[in-house]
Amino acid sequence: MKNSQIYMRANEVAEELGISVGHAYKIIQTLNEELEKRGYIVLRGRIDRKFFHEKLYTTRSETGGEKDGSI
């Protein structure tokens, strides 16, 4: 079942990547800084799910298939 939440929290990022929650917060902070530079409003401690998957899984789609070049 696909998660319908727009944002991921640090515990979900940590679980997906197999890292600590503290490290997940650092990754979220880095990604949010990139979004802020692009002019987006960000929420501390949360990251847009689609952006997260685009940045961390450049050869796979969110469903696990091959990249289709749409990113």
Q: Give the tens place of pLDDT for each residue, 8-61.
A: 999 999 999 999 999 999 999 999 999 999 999 999 999 999 999 999 886 555
Is residue 2 a part of any domain in this protein?
no
Burial class (CB in 10 A: 0-12, 13-18, 19+), 38: exposed
What pLDDT was estimated at residue 64? 55
What pLDDT was estimated at residue 18? 95
Q: How many domains does the chain have?
A: 1
**The whole model's pTM is what?**
0.75
Domain range enclosing 24? 7-56
Distance of CA 16 to the CA centre of its chain: 10
Is residue 70 a part of any domain in this protein?
no
Is residue 12 a part of any domain in this protein?
yes
Residue (of 24, 19, 51, 11) closest to 35 by Cα position: 51
Cβ atoms within 10 Å of 67's Cβ, excluding its own: 12
Is residue 64 a part of any domain in this protein?
no
